[in-house]
Amino acid sequence: MNNPFETLNQRLANIETLLLEIKHKPEDKEKPENLTVKETAKLLKVSEQSVHNYIKKGFIPAKKVGRILLINRTDIDNSLEGVKSLKYKRS
């Protein structure tokens, strides 16, 4: 008959290994660094016109490359920290 404590120790070791893998998993590499207006609108769940308005009002900084506006993902995250929801911010 197996020792139940050995089974528990083995299971706990497996759980610990899985938790360490989750902790050290790089999530930011999956996200693109620069987003278009369309991608930003989808991320924030607002219309593209709203994103253009946020850029015009200065809530979200953007850079124009040719005819395309590019928005840095970290700028979006920083904007969301300052405002609980850009959708409901009043000017």
pTM over 0.75: no
Read off the pLDDT of residues 12-62 as tens digits, 9 standing for 90 and up: 999 999 998 888 876 655 566 899 999 999 998 999 999 999 999 988 999
- And the tokens for 12? 């706990």
Comparison of pLDDT for 24 and 10, the residue scoring more: 10
H or E element in which residue 69 lies: strand 68-72
Overall average pLDDT of the 59-78 stretch: 91
pLDDT of residue 81: 73
Q: Closest by alpha carbon to 55, among 41, 45, 43? A: 41
Confirm if 75 and 40 have CB atoms less than 8 A apart. Answer: no
Instruction: Look at the chain and count its residues.
Output: 91
Comparison of pLDDT for 77 and 50, the residue scoring more: 50
**What domains are there in the chain, each with its CATH number?**
29-88 (1.10.1660)
Distance of CA 71 to the CA centre of its chain: 13
